[in-house]
Amino acid sequence: MDLEAESTIKVDTAMTIDIAKSCNKLLETQNQISAFEEKLKQLKGTETTLSEQTIPDLMHKAGVAAIKLDDGSKVEIKPFYSARIPISRTDEAFAWLRSNGHGDLIKNNVMLSFVRNQDNEAKALVEDLRSKGHTVKQSEKVEPMTLKAFVKEQIQGGKNVPSDIFGVYVASKTKITTKEE
């Protein structure tokens, strides 16, 4: 018996043509998706410019905070707040919050890992566990919505918040309410 003949694999060339066509269709589809995503990114940039700069500036120059359009829609400018602590500034941001009486915004999570039947040890203090050689993982964070609300409250209250360490972004946003809403 010829071993070489038995190990030969037969390839259906008609199927490879179908595979190649499908791969080409996939590549074409992926290119179309990329083009649409780029167009969407440009449209979102235009939307932001109109909503946060152009229309608020025009309404400010006109001396109006809200207007009603012919179709019954209402246009008003509302304040918008955003904040995000950059990872590189976390320690500095937490220190500022603590030293300015806002340490309660920081969530301090301690995670302990135990095997079965260690319930009693799990109830012990973190320091006690560390002294016994247990691995203790500790993480601190400020919830994004809590930080946003805090920054808004501080700014509206006329208090100073370091915008660089909290990634503060304040803008006016255009809100259009149609008759149906």
4-36, pLDDT tens digit by residue?
A: 556 677 777 778 889 899 999 999 999 999 999
101-130, pLDDT tens digit by residue?
A: 999 999 887 765 656 676 666 666 566 767
Residue of 130, 83, 140, 131 whose CA lies nearest to 108: 140
Range 129-134 contact pairs with CB under 8 angstroms and sequence separation of 24 or more: none
**What is the percent of the chain where pLDDT is above 70?**
82
| Residues 161 and 168 sit within 8 Å (Cβ to Cβ) | yes
Each domain of the chain, given as residue ranges in start order, spans 3-64, 80-177
Given its phi and psi angles, is residue 18 left (phi above 0), alpha (psi -120 to 50 degrees) or beta?
A: alpha
| Residues 66 and 75 sit within 8 Å (Cβ to Cβ) | yes
